[in-house]
Amino acid sequence: MGMTLTEKILARHSGRDRVRPGDFVVARVDLVLGNDITAPVAIKEFERMGAPRVFDPGKIALVPDHFTPNKDIKSAEQVRMMREFARKYMIANFFEVGQMGIEHCLLPERGMVVPGDLVVGADSHTCTYGALGAFSTGVGSTDMAAAMATGELWFKVPETMKFVFTGRLNRWVGGKDLILYTIGRIGVEGARYRAMEFAGPAISSLSIDGRLTMANMAIEAGAKNGIFMPDDKTVEYLKGRTSRKYELETSDEDAEYHSVHEFDASEIQPQVALPHLPENARPVNEVKGVRIDQVIIGSCTNGRIEDMREAAQILKGRKVARGVRCIVIPGTQAIYLQCVREGLVETFVEAGAVVSTPTCGPCLGGHMGVLAAGEKAVSTTNRNFVGRMGHVESEIYLSGPAVAAASAVVGEIASPDEVVSQ
């Protein structure tokens, strides 16, 4: 019996010929990640452990992105702790304001993850890097501290669920719609502590940006990780971003799966997840007409250049509806600069939107778009839990950038086809 790609990566990193679901392994890590919320806790634990040094200063990334630029004294103190830790242990990958970005947009952009890597991060959306054929998963801050000290962590090998998307993608349908549709079918606990492996013709046609979006939200189905088979698109994406050598491994044909789910992508329309769970996914045409107060376009889920271009395509020559706040947040400084070069920032501003420096900000109700009681938002972020973006009586509707931009123009949840002619 063969192994899935997830099993192969865990076997290689634990020095074994093979592993099976349920095995416990101690595996070496290729990258350890922390942000301005989780890293300070890990730093305190690291110091309490009395570790004399980090295992490898080149394999740790500290990204202040949640409250950056600092919104208050407390957040400034958090980042100062990260900055001083990076200086003390000569950690090169500390990303200061002006270089930083939303962590899960920044690390792939910098070529810091390649196929076959094992990545852990003290952030649940660390599963994003599975889009590049890596095993990546979120861990707690104490586990982050242990990984920084030893370069190893223990794992229970997960079972793998395979999701095969056949057919061709409809207009305006991208990675966000595919993953919302999937979570809508299996539920927020449907893949609990399992690997979600994505395959099929529709997945092969999907861009790396789209794959990063899908892998990012594997955790919203309860998954341990999401993963894609690396291919020519992966190689092209990494060209010029990294000099590291890597292999394009795939799951074996005789690998054993917990279950296999097949979806016809041609039947999937742009999706909207209603409050207060990502599993409440519906085709946009079933949700149209809900009045909104705010639109967020960005985040580690949909803050990449492809997302910015799609939103700009909708907003070009149009205006954000009166009474609606539209906030656009490019995922990194490089994406922001590309938006400037392509005239996308001009499009956003002329439409009546505001454009922010890269930050997680509103996604977690931190800053740059917190909701008041009774307000409704359409957001390209990944979670719509009660109180996630502000007041517990506010509501979040999750969508891709096309639906979000169209809704900003109409002033209520709308299909892109209502705004842009065929």
Domain boundaries, the chain: 5-263, 272-417
Q: What is 272-417's CATH number, 3.40.50.300, 3.30.1180.10, 3.40.50.720, 3.30.499.10?
A: 3.30.499.10
Please count the other Cβ atoms lying within 10 Å of the Cβ belonging to residue 393.
12
Domain 5-263 has CATH 3.30.499.10: yes
Percent of the chain with pLDDT over 90: 97
Rg of the chain in Å (alpha carbons): 20
Over residues 138-163, the mean pLDDT reads 97
pLDDT at 100: 87
The one-letter code for the residue type at 403 is: V
Over residues 332-344, the mean pLDDT reads 98
CA atoms in the 13 A half-sphere facing the CB of 222: 16
Q: Confidence class of residue 68 from pLDDT cuts 50, 70 and 90?
A: confident
pLDDT at 154: 97
pLDDT at 164: 98
Task: Pick the closest to residue 137 from 325, 277, 9 (CA basis).
Answer: 9
pLDDT at 421: 73
Q: Is 395 in a helix, a strand, or coil?
A: strand
- Asked if residue 1 has pLDDT above 90, the reply is no
Distance between CA atoms of 225 and 217, rounded to whole angstroms? 9
The one-letter code for the residue type at 41 is: V
Residue at token pair 């096309």 = 402
Note the pLDDT tens digit of each residue in 104-131. 999 999 999 999 999 999 999 999 999 9
Over residues 141-160, the mean pLDDT reads 97
Of the listed ranges 136-140, 280-284, 417-421, the one predicted with least confidence: 417-421
CB–CB of 144/39 below 8 Å? yes
Tokens read off for 350: 């002329």
Over residues 64-77, the mean pLDDT reads 93
Percent of the chain with pLDDT over 70: 100
Tokens read off for 373: 């009681």
- Asked if residue 396 has pLDDT above 60, the reply is yes
Note the pLDDT tens digit of each residue in 354-368. 999 999 999 888 899
Instruction: Please state the separation of Cα 231 from the chain's center in Å.
Output: 20
Q: Same CATH topology for 5-263 and 272-417? A: yes
- Asked if residue 422 has pLDDT above 60, the reply is no
Q: Confidence class of residue 18 from pLDDT cuts 50, 70 and 90?
A: very high
